[in-house]
Amino acid sequence: MDIPIWQYALSMTIYIVILLLMVEGMRKNHRFAFVFWIAALFTFPLWSHNLDGWFRWAKTLSVLIPTALLVGFGRVANYEDRQGFWKFFKKDWILWAVYGVLFLNIAEATLKDFEAGLIPNAIVGVVLCISIPLVYAKGQKQAWVFSKEKPGDLLAYTTAGWNFLYTTWNLAFVFGENAGFFASSFCILVAAELYPIIKKRPELYVTARVYTLALHILIRATYDIFTPTMDSSAWANPTALVYWGWINLAIAVPFTIVWIRNVIKRRKNADLKIAA
C-alpha cells in the first residue's frame, strides 16, 4: 500500500497524542479504567477474525486479562481501601502477578526472536527479564506498589535506563515480527516512553506501557484500523533489523554492568545494616 509520508506523520502524531491523553485519563479515573477494561473482555467474539497464530492470541490474552483483572481490581481495592471480597486484591500476590505478566510478555517476544534467529535482540530480552525489579528484594525498597494516594497508581520503580532499553528492544522486535504494524507499535512505545518523561516520574513507565499496549491490542483484536492509515510493510529491512539487534546488545552491556554493580551495592548495604 502506497501511503504518502504526510499521512504517516499525521496519523502517527494523532495516535501518540490520543495514547498520552488516554493514559492520563486512565490514571486519573481508576473506576472508569476498571469498568472500561472489564467491558473490553466482552469483545472476544470479534477476536477470531483478526488474530492469527499462537503468538497473537497469547499476546492478546496475556495483556487484556491482566489489565482488567489484576491492575483494575488492584487499583480499586488498594486506593479505596475496600474490605470483604476486595481484601483478596490487597495482598502481595497481585503485585507478583503483575510482575509475572511483564516477565511473561518479554519472555514471549524473546522466544520469538530466538526462533527467528535474531540472537542479539533475544539476548537483550533475557537481560530485561532478569533486571525487572522484584516486588521485594534484598537491599531495596518495595519496587512494586498500588499507591493509596490519589490517583491510586500502579507504581513500578524501574529506572530510566531500563525503560529506554525495553523501548528500543521492543521496537526492534516488532520491526522483525511484523513490519506492517511497526508504525502503529512505534506510537504506543514512544507514548509509553514519553509519558513518564513528561511527568518526570520513571516509576510510571509500566502503567503507561500497560495502558498503551492494552488499547493497541484491543484495537488490533477487534478491528484493523492501522493497515489503511499507517501500514509500514514497505519499511521491512532484514539488514537493518540485524544491525538494530546488535546496537541494542551494545546498549545492554553497560546497562547490565551498572545494574549488577547496583545490585551488589544494595546487598552489601543491607548486610551492613543487619550487622549493625
How many whole angstroms separate alpha carbon 221 and alpha carbon 217?
6
How many whole angstroms separate alpha carbon 59 and alpha carbon 109?
9
Prior bond to 254 cis, omega within 30?
no
Number of H helices, E strands in the chain: 11, 2
How many whole angstroms separate alpha carbon 270 and alpha carbon 263?
11
Q: Is 265 left (phi over 0), alpha (psi -120 to 50) or beta?
A: alpha
What domain count does the chain have? 1
- Would you write out the chain's pLDDT as a tens digit for each of its 276 residues? 678 999 999 999 999 999 999 999 999 999 999 999 999 999 999 998 888 887 788 889 989 999 999 999 999 999 999 999 999 999 999 999 999 999 998 998 999 999 999 999 999 999 999 999 999 988 888 999 999 999 999 999 999 999 999 999 999 999 999 899 999 999 999 999 999 999 999 999 999 999 999 999 999 999 989 999 999 999 999 999 999 999 999 999 999 999 999 999 998 888 777 766
How many whole angstroms separate alpha carbon 61 and alpha carbon 135?
23
Helix, strand, coil shares, percent, the chain, to 5: 80, 0, 20
Judge residue 182's burial from the number of C-beta atoms within 10 Å of its C-beta, 0-12 exposed, 13-18 middle, 19 or more buried.
buried
> What are residue 140's phi and psi, to 5 degrees?
-125, 155
pTM passes above 0.75: yes
Domain limits at 41?
A: 5-275
